[in-house]
Amino acid sequence: MDKQRIRIRYQGVVQGVGFRPHIYRLAKAYKLCGWVNNDPSGVMVEVEGKREDIENFLKASIDKAPVLARIKSVEHSQIEPNGEKEFIIRESAQNAVVSTQVSSDACTCEDCLKELFEPKDRRYRYPFINCTNCGPRFTIIERIPYDRPYTTMKVFRMCAECEAEYHNPLNRRFHAQPNGCAVCGPRLLLLDREGKEVSGDAIKKSVELLRAGKIIAVKSLGGYQFACDALNEGAVRELRARKIREDKPFAVMAENIEAVLRYAEISEKEKEVLLSAERPIVLLKKKLSPTLAESVAPRQKNYGFMLPYTPLHHLLLKESGMILVMTSGNLSDEPIAFVDEEAMARLKGIADYFLTHNRPIYIRCDDSVVRVFEERLYPVRRARGYVPRPLEVQFPEKGSLLAVGGQLKNTFAMTKFGQVILSHHIGDLDNLETLKAFEQGIEHFKQIFEIVPEMVVYDLHPDYLSTQYALSLELPKLGVQHHYAHIAGVMAEHNLSGKVIGVAMDGTGYGTDGRIWGGEFLIADYDGFERKAHLEYVPMPGGEKAIKQAWRMALVWLDKIYGEELWELGIKFLEKIEPGQGELILEASRKGINSPLTSSMGRLFDAVSALINVCQVANYEGQPAIELEMIGDEQAPGYYEFHYQEKDGRIIIKPEPVIEQIVKDLRETQPKEQISAKFHNGVSKMVVWGCERIREETGINEVVLGGGVFQNFWLLGRIKNWLSEKKFRVYVHHQVPTNDGGIALGQAIIGLRRMRDVLSGANEG
Ligand code: ZN
Ligand code: ZN
Ligand code: FE
C-alpha cells in the first residue's frame, strides 16, 4: 500500500505555545492519522498517510508554527504503519521524567485584545484574558511538564465554557493552561493600605485614584509595580521619597506607540522592540518638549518606556489615557515583592492602594530593560519576556554545569546539551532576600530543566556571595577571572573561536593579582588570556566607600599629581571637601590602609565626574559616570591625552596627564559639557591606540568590547566607529547585558571548555 508512517521529534520552545493543537489542526487538514505528545525533550509526533500529504504536513508544521514557538531542531524517521484511524492529542504522562524548555511570559495577543475590548465578548474587560499565544508562563510554572496542575492556576477550576475551550483542539484556548474567565478564573481586587477592599469597579476606581495623584501597587506578571501619574511631579516626587530612591530613573508605561512618540524619539527598530512579545522597557531619547514630570528621570537624556503587556495594564492605560510611572515594587534596593501578604507588609508604607489579584506568582521576574544599538538589541537587564529562553550560542561541549555569576546585578547560568540558559535578573546579592532568590532560583532551574550540574563556575572575588555559595557546593569547581568572563561572553555570542583583543572597561572585578581590575586589554581565547595593558593602579581609599563617594577617587588622583599642593589649586571641587576629612582619607590612601589598588575605568569616570562637580556621591550604582555622560556635549571637539609606559611587555596606561589637563581647563573655567566631551574623546582615542598597538604586535584584528562602562552609549558608539575606521572587526553583546548581568554566560562558556580537564582532575584528586 502507499501508506507511510513517520515519527517526528520537534525540539526547542515547543511546549506551552500551542504547538500540539497546531499539529492537530494540520494533521486533520492533511487527513493524517497518528498522535502528538509532549515528552521530555519536546514534542513527539507520529503521522500516517500518503507520502505527499506527510511531506506537506511536515513543511507546514515548521513554516506555520505558532508565534511563540521557536523550533531548534526537527528529526524524523520512517516507521511501520499501524493502520490507525484517527489523530489524537495524547495527555502528558503524569510521572514522565520531563525536561524541556519552559517558555517565557508573553504580552497579550491581538486576538485576546479584541475580545478584551469587545462589549459582547464573554471576557469583556476581564483582566486575566489569555490564550495559547499569550499570557503568563515562566512566572506561574511550579514544575514540569507544563500542565495546569503544575502551575499556580491549579487552584482555579474551569467553568463549563472554559473547560470546553480547553478541550477543543480547534479553539485558540486548547490546552491554554492559564485559561479562565470572570466566572471561574482569577479575580481583581482593589485594596486600601489596611487590606480592606475598595468597593466598585477596581479598574475605574484605580483610574480615579491615579488621576488624583495616588500611588498604587499593581500586581503584574512577575511581581508588584508602583504606578502613579508620570505627569504629576508631586506624585512622582512623593514616590521617590517613600521608596527612598533619590535619582535613579523610573520606567514609564504608555498606552501605545503614539503616546510614547509625544515624549520620546523612536526609530523603526526601537518601535519593533517596544511592540515585541517580550515587551521590555526600551531606553529612548527624550524629546525636549513636552516632557514628563522632571522627577521621572532627572538629569537623563532618555526615558525608559514600555507598552502594556498584561490585560490589566491594557485596561488601566486605555481607560485612563495616562502615562504611568511603572517601577519595581520594592523599597530602595530590595528585590521586588511578589507574594501577596509579604507585599502588603513591605509596600504599605509606599503605596496608597493595592491593585492585586488572587493568581499567585510562582517566581519573581523583573521587567527587562534594553536599548537598541546599531539596529540590534543591547540588553541592560534581561528578565521577563526573554527568560528562560536559551541563549543563541553554539558550543560543541554538551555537559551540564552551573555558573553562579557575579555579585551585582546577578544572573546565573546553566548548561545542558550545548545550550546555555541564563536566569532572570536576580539583583545585587548583598541582602538576605536576594540571596534567597538566588538560591531558590538555582533549585528551580535545576528542576524545570532537569539539570544536574557536574561542576560549578564562579568569580574569583572571595567576598562575592555567589562565589561563597559556589565554594560551599560539593562539586568540581572552576574560578574564572571577572573581565575574562566579560570578554568570553561576547565571544560566545558571536561564535568567535580564535584569539581576540578583549577590551574590558568596567567598574570593579577581582584580578588574578588580588587587585581590583577594570580598565583592561586582554588577549583572549577560550583557553586563557594574557593581560596586555591596563590603567595604572591607584588606591581606592575606604574600598567600597570610594565607589559611593566618588570624590575620594578625584582626591586620590589630585594627590598623586600635586601632593600637598593640591589644596592650593583653587578649584571648586575642593570647596566641597572638608580639609580635615580629606587629609585623613589621603593619609590612609598613602599608607595603603584599607585602600585596595584599582585599575578600574569606572573609578576614573567617577573621579572626573566628581572633579568637575557633576556628581560627587552616587545614589545608585554608576551614577557619577552616567551623569558625566549625560551632561557632555557630543559635538564638542578636542580630547585629553593619556600617557603610556611599557614594562615587561605590558603597557600601563597613565591618566595623570588627563587629570592635569582637566584641572587646567577647570581653572580656565571651561564649561563642563566640553570637559566631559574631551574626556570621552580621550578615552576613546586611548582604546583605539591600545588596540592598534596590540594589533601591531599580534596581528589580531578582532576586538571585543565588554564590561559595565560600555553601557555608556556615547563612548561605545565612538569607540566602535573609530575602531571600524581602523579596519578592526568589533563585537559587543546583543543577547545579555554588558554589565555584570552578563558574566554568567562567559563563565559558562569557559567552564564548558575546561569541563573535561576539571572533571578528570577532580577524579584524580
Ligand atoms: Zn491571546
Ligand atoms: Zn470560565
Ligand atoms: Fe564587571
Distance of CA 624 from the midpoint of ligand 1 (Å): 43
Q: What is the DSSP string of 118-143?
A: -TTSTTTT-TT--BTTBB--TTTB-S
Ligand number nearest to the C-alpha of 510: 3
What confidence score (pLDDT) does residue 189 get? 96
Ligand number nearest to the C-alpha of 115: 1
pTM of this prediction exceeds 0.75: yes
* pLDDT tens by residue, 406-462: 999 999 999 988 889 999 999 999 888 899 999 999 999 999 998 999 999 999 999
* pLDDT tens by residue, 623-645: 999 999 999 999 999 999 999 99
Rounded CA separation 248/563 (Å): 35
Distance of CA 602 from the midpoint of ligand 3 (Å): 10
Distance of CA 115 from the midpoint of ligand 1 (Å): 9
- Mean of pLDDT values over 471-479: 97
Look at residue 307 and tell me whether its pLDDT is greater than 70: yes
- Mean of pLDDT values over 368-397: 93
Distance of CA 115 from the midpoint of ligand 3 (Å): 46
Ligand number nearest to the C-alpha of 519: 3
Distance of CA 110 from the midpoint of ligand 2 (Å): 20
What confidence score (pLDDT) does residue 101 get? 60
- Reported as a pLDDT band with limits 50, 70 and 90, residue 764 is low
Q: In order of start, what are the domains of the chain with their CATH numbers?
A: 4-89 (3.30.70.100), 188-369 (3.90.870.10), 534-734 (3.30.420.40)
87-89, strands of its sheet edge to edge: 70-79, 3-13, 42-50, 33-39, 87-89
Measured distance between the N- and C-terminal CA atoms of the chain, rounded to whole angstroms: 62
Burial class (CB in 10 A: 0-12, 13-18, 19+), 635: exposed
Ligand number nearest to the C-alpha of 182: 2
Distance of CA 555 from the midpoint of ligand 1 (Å): 57
Distance of CA 387 from the midpoint of ligand 3 (Å): 21
Measure Cα distances from 29 to 37, 87, 115, 372 in Å.
Answer: 18, 11, 27, 42
- Mean of pLDDT values over 238-247: 93
Look at residue 93 and tell me whether its pLDDT is greater than 70: no
CB atoms within 10 A of CB 572: 12
Look at residue 697 and tell me whether its pLDDT is greater than 70: yes
* Amino acid in the structure at residue 308: P
Look at residue 19 and tell me whether its pLDDT is greater than 70: yes
CB atoms within 10 A of CB 56: 16
Distance of CA 252 from the midpoint of ligand 3 (Å): 27
Distance of CA 708 from the midpoint of ligand 3 (Å): 6
Distance of CA 509 from the midpoint of ligand 3 (Å): 6
CB atoms within 10 A of CB 136: 26
Ligand number nearest to the C-alpha of 181: 2
Tell me which of 670 and 93 has the higher pLDDT. Answer: 670
Is residue 535 a contact partner of residue 595, using CB atoms and an 8 Å limit? no
Look at residue 255 and tell me whether its pLDDT is greater than 90: yes
Helix (H, G, I), strand (E, B) or coil at 76: strand
Distance of CA 593 from the midpoint of ligand 1 (Å): 61
Ligand number nearest to the C-alpha of 602: 3
Distance of CA 63 from the midpoint of ligand 1 (Å): 20
What confidence score (pLDDT) does residue 42 get? 83
* pLDDT tens by residue, 530-547: 999 999 999 999 999 999
- Mean of pLDDT values over 674-680: 98
Look over the chain and give the mean of its residue pLDDT values, rounded to a whole number. Answer: 94
Distance of CA 114 from the midpoint of ligand 1 (Å): 9
- Mean of pLDDT values over 379-388: 96
Look at residue 97 and tell me whether its pLDDT is greater than 50: no
* pLDDT tens by residue, 351-371: 999 999 999 999 999 999 999
* pLDDT tens by residue, 155-198: 999 999 999 999 998 899 988 999 999 999 999 999 999 999 99
Distance of CA 447 from the midpoint of ligand 1 (Å): 28
- Mean of pLDDT values over 711-717: 97
- Mean of pLDDT values over 250-271: 98
Ligand number nearest to the C-alpha of 176: 1
